[in-house]
Structure 1
Amino acid sequence: MSLRETIKARLAASSDHREMWKPIPSAPFGRELELAVFDEDGETALVFPCIKEPQGWKSAETGVRVDIRPTHWRYWESKTVPTDDGTSVAGAS
């Protein structure tokens, strides 16, 4: 999977799911957030948490600046995914 595909992992859109998102102007600084872009193609969310800083967005995992112009946010909830050996990987989506 390419980096672009990883960053732009699609979520299933539903009205209940969409209501959980908040408009980006209300995003708090210094908190792990899930970011999304809502456009004519639907809802696209990053698969890793980001932190809002005065200079822009950075990955909460690596500290690297993320060049994104999100439209919505919500608090990051840790996610786990089973691996081939039956264990879980934290932070994946």
Structure 2
Amino acid sequence: MSAPDKTGPGMGQWLPIQIAPDDCDLELGRLHKTGILPWTFPCRRRSGVWFNVWAGEAVLISPSYWRIWRSGRQQQTHILR
């Protein structure tokens, strides 16, 4: 599947995980009592398994939402650590 349009769905709004594209960097999130809690690393789905792009390891927590990962989030994550 080709990468999603950079101006279309997934750029800022959270979308259901069921429609997430394969093989592109995504920001994943999980429903929390205060809203959607985003993960702090980009993920990619391959053969039905989610992987942490930075660590190259499978993710064991099931996400419920996604949006396109933007490189600016990566820089913010490193500053917060």
Q: Same-fold call, TM > 0.5?
A: yes
Q: Which amino acid aligns with 1:29?
A: D
Stretches of structure 1 lacking an aligned partner (at least 5 in a row):
1-18, 82-90
Structure 2 residue 37 is matched with structure 1 residue 39: no
After superposition, the C-alpha distances for 1:19-49 in whole angstroms (9 at most, x for unaligned) are 7011000111100000001133422111000
Structure 2 residue 42 is matched with structure 1 residue 54: no
What is the rounded CA distance, in whole Å, between the counterparts of 2:63 and 2:53 in structure 1? Answer: 16
Stretches of structure 2 lacking an aligned partner (at least 5 in a row):
1-11
TM-score (norm 2): 0.70
What is the rounded CA distance, in whole Å, between the counterparts of 1:38 and 1:78 in structure 2? Answer: 23
State the Cα RMSD in Å. 1.9
What is the rounded CA distance, in whole Å, between the counterparts of 2:35 and 2:26 in structure 1? Answer: 20
Q: Which amino acid aligns with 1:32?
A: D
What is the rounded CA distance, in whole Å, between the counterparts of 1:34 and 1:68 in structure 2? Answer: 14
Give the 4+ runs in structure 1 shifted more than 3 A.
none
Q: Once the two structures are aligned, what percentage of the paired residues are identical?
A: 32
Structure 2 residue 65 is matched with structure 1 residue 78: no
What is the rounded CA distance, in whole Å, between the counterparts of 1:61 and 1:43 in structure 2? Answer: 22
TM-score (norm 1): 0.62
Q: Which amino acid aligns with 2:25?
A: E
Normalized per residue, the structure richer in strand is 1
Q: How many residue pairs get matched? A: 66
**Higher Rg:** 1
